[in-house]
Amino acid sequence: MTQTAKAQRPTVAIITMFFLFAMISFVTNLAAPIGTIWGNTYEGNSVLGMMGNMMNFLAYLFMGIPAGKLLEKIGYKKTALWAMAVGVVGLFIQFLSSTVGVDTSMFTMSSTIEENGVAVVKEFNVCLNFFIYLLGAFICGFCVCMLNTVVNPMLNILGGGGNKGNQLIQTGGALNSLSGTLTPFFVGALIGQLSKSTTMQAVTPLLFIAMGVFALAFIIISCVSIPEPNLVKKGAKRVKYTHSAWNFRHTVLGVIGIFFYVGIEIGIPGTLNFYLADQKATGAGVIGDASAIAGAIVAIYWLLMLIGRSLSSAISGKISARMQLTVVSAVAMLLIILAIFIPKSSTITVPSFIYTDAAGMTAHVPVSAFLLVLCGLCTSVMWGGIFNIAVEGLGKYTAQASGIFMMMVVGGGVMPLIQQGIAQNAGYMASYWLVVAMLAYLFFYAVAGAKNVNTDIPVDEEETPDLRNL
């Protein structure tokens, strides 16, 4: 192989991983804004509204380890291609929920809502189409789990680990955030003003666009050559190691950190979306097309994640992931505590370039909403930082750790669902104390838990290939 080919191959692989990183966010961020439709359908039950997000992330619990096994058996490229095909299936099933089973009642539930200062119990029928939607969200979860399993270790390896590996992860994360910025904005614009007549049909154009993007991605990736460092050759004996990733304290604590982090990343904008879109007394009191306004505000959160990851990418070669995680977890705690205590009567005008209705009128939202949005700058660097710290020094146990981390992404479904339960019973802003507690753990991890105290465990393979020379 010529030196030119050697230099080009990692570059193409890196660009490909960046592209896949964007697709992960595109699919994942459909669930929370679409959930406002289901929550509104079922008498403002935000817990049911967040169930799609829960199913999306629940898939990680079942697919995390198998996805790592797939990398060994069929390689990065084929795993990514399978992920694309699964994604199309999941999105199509979500589309079916707009027409199939709409009038087929499965069982009856009730919700307690406040009307004119009086608590009112309202019953509603949960229909078959809701479960079809949940199935689609669950299948999409398999898709993004497989993509995450491909992208993160590959970028870390291509960067040579350490600060450079983190730098590539953060750069890919910036594209991930760009995609995440656009998704809730488009969903909110398609929904507009929530009403009893708002159904999944409102967002079907975006579902078909997503399917088209997956089809295009499939074609592109089919034509790209990707290094396969973990592919096990046919007939090769599987090596059994004397230890595992679970024997490293900083990795175990990092696994918990990933579980909490994804809950933080999804919980902050997800609950904010429900809060702003809710036009009952429990909501933010937004006047106008509340869902569109909520989508525009939440889009800022993902835009700030883009900015944060871009900045982190620029500085990660000089400033350690540990230091970045320490600072951002502390700042995020401060912002959320301020947001909790500032009353919703304190409002701020949404800039016209963010939202303006058909009549040219702007909107007003609580100041706390913008404080929560600012957390996007902080959460932006957490995933790459935690992953980078937790796998440092693992050597041959890195692939196993990656599979474990993918399982723990289920925290993005579990913790926001718990947060919605708190929100429904104690209020939206009170639910953010759960986020503060999770941020406190990440601060502890960065300050005290990130050091590798198990350096006595052998981590080197007999032969370790250098991807940069492939």
Q: Are strands 105-115 and 118-127 parallel, antiparallel or unpaired?
A: antiparallel
- pTM score, whole prediction: 0.73
Where along the chain do its domains lie? 3-226+246-454
Cα distance between residue 436 and residue 430, in whole Å: 11
Tell me: domain 3-226+246-454, CATH 1.20.1250.20, correct?
Answer: yes
What confidence tens digit (pLDDT) does each residue in 234-291 have?
A: 655 556 667 777 888 888 999 999 999 999 999 999 899 888 888 777 887 887 777 7
pLDDT higher at 24 or 134? 134
What is the pLDDT at residue 465?
A: 46
Of 80, 96, 38, 419, nearest to 266 by C-alpha is 419
Q: Which carries the bigger pLDDT value, residue 33 or residue 328?
A: 328
What is the per-residue pLDDT across 45-75, written as a single tens digit (0 to 9) for each?
Answer: 777 888 888 898 888 888 877 887 787 788 8
Size of the chain in residues: 470
